Structures are given as C-alpha cells and as structure tokens.
C-alpha cells in the first residue's frame, strides 16, 4: 500500500501545482513595462522592472509589437482529471487495507457516517473492532508493566493486577449502537448462551466483580418486591 500512498501524494502535489500554474497570466507590450530610472553617472536609461509575484510577461516577437492590447495567457485547470486520478488511488488504497468501498474520497460526496458503518457491519467496522481489541490488550499490558517497574524501584507497594481485573474504556460511543448492543445481550441471556453477569459486564463495560455486585443488587431488589407483594396480599387479599 506504500506505493499507492506515494502515488496519491504525488498526484495531489501535481494538482496543487496545476492550480498554481492555472492562475491568470497576461502578456503585455514592452511599452507598458518601460520605466525611466537614473543611474549613478547621471544617465537616464529606461529599464523594465517586474514584481516576482505577479504573473505578467512581456510579449516578445511576432506582429503588432507596438500594440497596446493585453493578451490573456491563462490555461484551464484540469481539476476533474486530477480529482478522478486521486479517487482512483484512494479506491485502490481501500482495497489494499481492507476497508469498505467509499470510505475515502476526494470529492466530499461519498462520505459515510459512523452510524452507517455500524449498521452495515462493514469491513471498516470489523477492522475498527480488531484495532480496538489490540489497543485494549496493549493498554492492559502497559499498565501491568508500569506497575511492575514501579514496584521494582520501590515506587509502588500495592499488588500487580491481573489482565482480567483491568477495565479499559475507550469512549468510542460514536461507533457503538447502545440499543442494538443491549438487545443483543438480552437475546443471548434469554437463549441461555450467556449469564446475566456477562451481559452486565459487556453492556456497562465494568469488571466481572462489579458486574456481580450489580447483579446481586438487582436480585435483592427483586426479592424485596416479591416479599412486599406477599405482605400486601396477606393484609389486603388479592
């Protein structure tokens, strides 16, 4: 994919140069550029002067040299050709890195929102999930390594946590459909493919111990409600 990136970069640089060269340029007769200046020995010599930032040129040779007409030398900018070439390079880059078609574009018309990427379960979303898993694992290993080094230099006196005890929150809600995730885990628990503790841990992004505490609180609340209903039934009847 590096050669593709180099192609896109080179084409973009050429496009920028095309825009610069496409600025308006004019050719003027020499009579319009003459300037009278005085030299050191007192002689007066006409000498043309130009601003280097101005796209003005002297018309040389040809007919009508003394004409006062100003000739436009501007060339059209090949914007469509360069945009098409850059988009072709981006399409090839998408195929090489394994993301969804249309993720990258140079025209600003084929942009995809995070919701679209999630709903389509696209290659981009799957690749993003793989990257998130790798980043989460790397952060956990980094935390353990830092604490081990700190304890080796007597800067930390506590226990070294296990990998499963560390919870990483990447705050990537823009790529997460919370309602869809909740529905998914409800179906998993109802089908018997997972426990309530597992669902709480995944949906709320907490550790297993915290999920067990939450599940215990929920069970306690359910038991209290059942006992309260029994008491009301005993006192007031059905």
| Chosen domain end from 70, 86, 110 | 110
Residue 199: HSE in the Cβ half-sphere, 13 Å Cα cutoff: 18
Cα–Cα distance for residue pair 115/129, rounded to 1 Å: 14
Backbone phi, psi, residue 26, to 5°: -130, 150
User: Do 97 and 127 sit in the same domain of this protein?
Assistant: no
Residue where a domain terminates, one of 123, 157, 173:
173
Paired tokens of 213 = 């505490």
Helix (H) or strand (E) segment spanning residue 50: none
Give me the residues paired with residue 44 across strands: 38
The answer on 126 and 34 residing in a single domain is: no
What's the rounded Cα separation, in Å, for the pair 186 and 180? 10
Q: pLDDT: is 173 or 60 the higher one?
A: 60
Segment of 9-18, 46-55, 201-210 carrying the highest mean pLDDT: 9-18
Label residue 194 by pLDDT band (50, 70, 90).
confident
Is 72's pLDDT higher than 60? yes
Q: Find the mean pLDDT for residues 91-112.
A: 74
The residue written with tokens 């215990």 in the block is 216
Q: What is the pTM of this model?
A: 0.45
Q: Are residues 181 and 235 in the same domain?
A: yes
- Name the strand (E) or helix (H) holding 26: strand 26-28
Instruction: Give dist(CA 56, CA 28) in Å, integer.
Output: 7
Shared-domain flag, residues 236 and 216 = yes
Copy the structure tokens of residue 61: 């040779």
What is the band of 176 on the pLDDT scale with cuts at 50, 70, 90? low
- Nearest partner of 210 among 218, 220, 219, 200, judged by Cα: 200
Q: Are residues 64 and 128 in the same domain?
A: no
Residues 104 and 8 reside in one and the same domain: yes
Pair 8, 99 in one domain? yes
Q: Among 146, 173, 200, which residue terminates a domain? A: 173
130 and 196 part of one domain: no
Same domain, 126 and 156: yes
- Are 22 and 122 contained in the same domain? no
Looking at the structure, tell me whether residues 105 and 7 fall in a common domain. yes
User: What's the total number of domains in the chain?
Assistant: 3
Structural domain range at position 88: 2-110
**How many angstroms separate the Cα of 24 from the Cα of each of 11, 27, 32, 50?**
22, 10, 18, 16
């Amino acid at each position: 994919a590096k050669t593709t990136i180099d192609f896109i970069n080179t084409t973009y640089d050429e496009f920028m140069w095309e825009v610069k060269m496409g600025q308006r340029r004019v050719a003027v007769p020499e009579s319009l550029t003459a300037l009278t200046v005085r030299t050191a020995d007192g002689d007066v010599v006409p000498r043309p002067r130009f601003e280097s930032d101005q796209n003005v040129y002297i018309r040389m040779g040809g007919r009508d040299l003394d004409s006062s007409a100003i000739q436009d030398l501007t060339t059209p900018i090949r914007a469509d050709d360069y945009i098409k070439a850059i988009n072709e390079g981006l399409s090839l880059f998408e195929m090489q890195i394994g993301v969804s078609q249309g993720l990258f574009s140079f025209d600003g018309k084929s942009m995809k929102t995070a919701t679209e990427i999630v709903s389509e379960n696209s290659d981009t979303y799957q690749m993003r999930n793989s990257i998130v898993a790798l980043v989460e694992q790397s952060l956990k290993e980094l935390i353990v390594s830092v604490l081990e080094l700190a304890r080796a230099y007597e800067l930390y006196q506590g226990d070294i946590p296990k990998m499963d005890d560390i919870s990483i929150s990447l705050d990537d809600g823009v790529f997460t459909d919370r309602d869809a995730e909740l529905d998914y885990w409800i179906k998993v628990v109802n089908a018997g493919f997972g426990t309530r503790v597992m669902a709480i841990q995944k949906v709320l992004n907490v550790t297993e111990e915290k999920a067990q505490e939450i599940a215990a609180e929920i069970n306690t609340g359910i038991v209290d409600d059942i006992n309260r209903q029994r008491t009301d039934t005993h006192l007031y009847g059905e």
